[in-house]
Amino acid sequence: MTGAMFIAECLKQEGVTKVFGQCGHTNYALIDACRLHGIEYVSFRHEQMAAHAADAYFRVSHKLAVLNVHLSPGMTNALTGVVSAAADCTPMLVICGNTPAYNHAREPHQGIRFHADASQGDIYRPICKRVWRVDDVNLLADVMPRALNLAQTGRPGAVLIDVPMDVFSAHINAEAVTVARRPSHGRAVGSSAGIAEAACLLLAAAKPVIFAGNGVLLSEASEELKELAELMQIPVATTLMGKGAFPEQHALALGTTGIWGTRVANETTKEADVILAIGTGFGEADCSSWNPAYTFAIPPSRVIQIDSDPQEIGKIYPVEVGIVGDARDTLRELIERLRGEKRLTADSGARMRELDRRKQAWNAELVASQSNDDRPIHPARLLAELSKAAPADAIYVTDVGWNKNGAGQQLKCSKPGTFITAGGMATMGFSPAAAIGAKIAAPDRKVICLVGDGGFLSVLGALTTAVELDVPVLWVLFNNFCFSTIRSVGSKYFKNTYGTEFTKPDGTPYNPDFMLLAKSFAIESALVAEPSELGAALEKAIKADVPYLLEVRTRADVPMPRTGYWDIADFLVGGNGPADDTPSQSHAADEIETPVA
């Protein structure tokens, strides 16, 4: 069989049913091999979108993301999508074409050859766990299983297999063996000594908090997380990426932490005596730039950290107990050790009353914006109406801006895999295609893309794939005629909005007519400018089982309610004004809104 057929055979063995990408003469052999193997090729009009869709497809289905693209320009287009996936630990196999191997030394058409021949794979080195260039078809027999392993084991991530196009067409005489060359029991339980220490610390804690990250979702440990929280009556906060790992309607749920977290979460994590962190690297945004006055005060809080990647343990904060292990299996052991035990100093009644008081205060803080009747519509009002209209298991796919940080803070997600966001890269333009990948992964669920006008227009071509494949995604467009997130940085710190607004030369607001645009794409659409019409419009859009664009005219001038802290505000505060000798304020950010990004 040909190299391309061999690769498709390996993918088939792996259970792959979808490959995302875009065609080129260098990768067409594999597209055809996929067709012959009954593997669907989900084609996008731009490789970045294909990569975002593959990424979200994994996040919802937990099936390997596979991307197949053309050489150099296809690869550079895909790069943003691949790095967004890799940053959030999505296992992604990228297979690209290359110039024919026999021509590498002659710098053939479309090769990148500045420092080495046909070296476009080098562009992927900083973002991939490994890059293979397969110049001999017989190497595929080992490269394929190794690449599939590497993407999916340890800390999951992206790998690249770079295949000269003549290698796709060369004949290989080998048997495809992939799954049998992988650990059949890949999950490692943390050490029992560590689990015993963790149990002791939790039992003696007066104000413990669980802090759950993306690792809980990757390990599918949500059931265990809930069981442990309920067993020990421990409140649970999550990272933005971990949102949905614990049901946010639950009495013990605190919501997300950090710069744009809930006040309930930040107040409660800050005062915790013991923090059980699971599957999180304590990222900056989730930890308010690690400023102890805002989200985590470690020490004095004592940390138990469970992570499958030893590098994450103690990376930011010192740990009292650091356990290397799979979240699900390690939590299962911890639960067994704690079953029948009672926390020594637990006054869970008083603590739950305090938690309830905080939740009510936080809800009261939001209510004015959520019921705001202004035109354009307040984004918090849009999110509140959306919460009412959407089914409980709806999958939200966010972009950047209010639609990400506001949604992270104010939407309640009760199931794993219902909040999909580019956490590590915060990639503007992620969500429109990612929502398509999410819907392909979960055809029976409602998938709602939340996106600003800036993000939407940067990847508009995604809509064509939804129509071509009849993928009924709902895109909710926050149209405010600007990059409002960055506009607020400009106006707050630099006293201008230069380069952030969408206007004609005479200053009038400009965007394409989104209703005409939807029509031209053969997509149903509606426009809402009146807050009072929002509920009904959302209901109708959610009910529609077709690709649907709902444009909502939103306010551009409302910063996110800041409950945490981002230290960039400390040095942005002077804008580009003249330097002076005034000593800088240590907590300048207290007086100003933190920008969103």
Ligand X SMILES: Cc1ncc(C[n+]2csc(CCOP(=O)(O)OP(=O)(O)O)c2C)c(N)n1
Among 208, 452, 490, 595, binds Mg ion (CB under 5 A): 452
Stretch that binds ligand X, among 90-98, 272-280, 397-405, 507-515 (CB under 6 A): 397-405
Least separation in angstroms between CB 73 and ligand X: 18
Question: 344 with 203: CB under 8 angstroms?
Answer: yes
Beta carbon nearer to ligand X, 90 or 308: 90
Least separation in angstroms between CB 558 and ligand X: 10
Least separation in angstroms between CB 491 and Mg ion: 14
Rule CB under 6 A: say whether 432 interacts with ligand X: no
Q: Among 290, 261, 543, which residue's Cα sits nearest to residue 405? A: 261
Q: Please report, as a single letter, which amino acid is at residue 210.
A: I
Cα–Cα distances (Å) from 213 to 494, 545, 563, 573, in that order, read 35, 33, 19, 31
3-state secondary structure of 274: strand
Q: Of residues 434-473, which lie at the interface with ligand X (CB under 6 A)?
A: 452-455
Helix 3-13, helix 140-152: angle, nearest 10: 40
Strand partners, 231: none
Stretch that binds ligand X, among 61-69, 143-151, 426-434, 515-523 (CB under 6 A): 426-434
Question: What number of chain residues touch ligand X (CB under 6 A)?
Answer: 20
Q: Where are the beta strands (DSSP E) in 423-486?
A: 447-452, 474-479
Q: What is the DSSP letter of 554?
A: B
Beta carbon nearer to ligand X, 91 or 429: 429
376: cis peptide before it, omega within 30°? yes
Q: Among 470, 446, 465, 467, which residue's Cα sits nearest to residue 538? A: 446
Question: What number of chain residues touch Mg ion (CB under 5 A)?
Answer: 5
Rule CB under 5 A: say whether 429 interacts with Mg ion: no
Among 295, 372, 410, 485, binds ligand X (CB under 6 A): 485
Among 322, 401, 408, 564, binds ligand X (CB under 6 A): 401
Q: State the Cα–Cα distance between residues 46 and 523, nearest whole angstrom.
A: 19
Q: Three-class SS string for 338-403? A: HCCCCCCCCCHHHHHHHHHHHHHHHHHHHHHHHCCCCCCECHHHHHHHHHHHCCCCCEEEECCCHH
Rule CB under 6 A: say whether 77 interacts with ligand X: no
Phi, then psi, of 276 in degrees rounded to 5:
-100, 105
Least separation in angstroms between CB 479 and Mg ion: 7
Least separation in angstroms between CB 378 and Mg ion: 14
Rule CB under 6 A: say whether 421 interacts with ligand X: no
Strand partners, 378: none
Please report where in the chains the tokens 């614990």 appear, as a residue: 246
Least separation in angstroms between CB 477 and Mg ion: 9
Rule CB under 6 A: say whether 316 interacts with ligand X: no
Residues in the chain: 597
205: which 2 tokens? Answer: 């804690």
Q: State the Cα–Cα distance between residues 501 and 154, nearest whole angstrom.
A: 44
Q: In what order do the strands lie in the sheet with 274-278?
A: 253-256, 236-238, 208-212, 274-278, 302-307, 321-324
Least separation in angstroms between CB 451 and ligand X: 6
Rule CB under 5 A: say whether 312 interacts with Mg ion: no
Among 178, 418, 484, 525, binds ligand X (CB under 6 A): 484
Among 50, 303, 400, 463, binds ligand X (CB under 6 A): 400
Beta carbon nearer to ligand X, 128 or 482: 482
Beta carbon nearer to Mg ion, 71 or 518: 518
Beta carbon nearer to Mg ion, 369 or 484: 484
Binding partner of residue 69 among Mg ion, ligand X, none, CB cut-off 5 to 8 Å per kind: none
Rule CB under 6 A: say whether 431 interacts with ligand X: no
Among 426, 441, 534, 542, binds ligand X (CB under 6 A): 426
Rule CB under 6 A: say whether 511 interacts with ligand X: no
Rule CB under 6 A: say whether 84 interacts with ligand X: no
Beta carbon nearer to ligand X, 331 or 517: 517
Rule CB under 5 A: say whether 455 interacts with Mg ion: no
3-state secondary structure of 488: helix
Phi, then psi, of 131 in degrees rounded to 5:
-125, 125
| Nearest-CB residue for ligand X | 452
Rule CB under 5 A: say whether 490 interacts with Mg ion: no
> b/e for 302-330, b at 16 or more Cβ within 10 A?
bbbbbbbeeebbeebbebbbbbbbbbbbb
Beta carbon nearer to ligand X, 301 or 405: 405
Rule CB under 6 A: say whether 238 interacts with ligand X: no
Beta carbon nearer to ligand X, 134 or 428: 428
Contact residues toward Mg ion (CB under 5 A) are 452-454, 480, 484
Contact residues toward ligand X (CB under 6 A) are 399-402, 426-429, 452-455, 478, 480, 482-486, 597
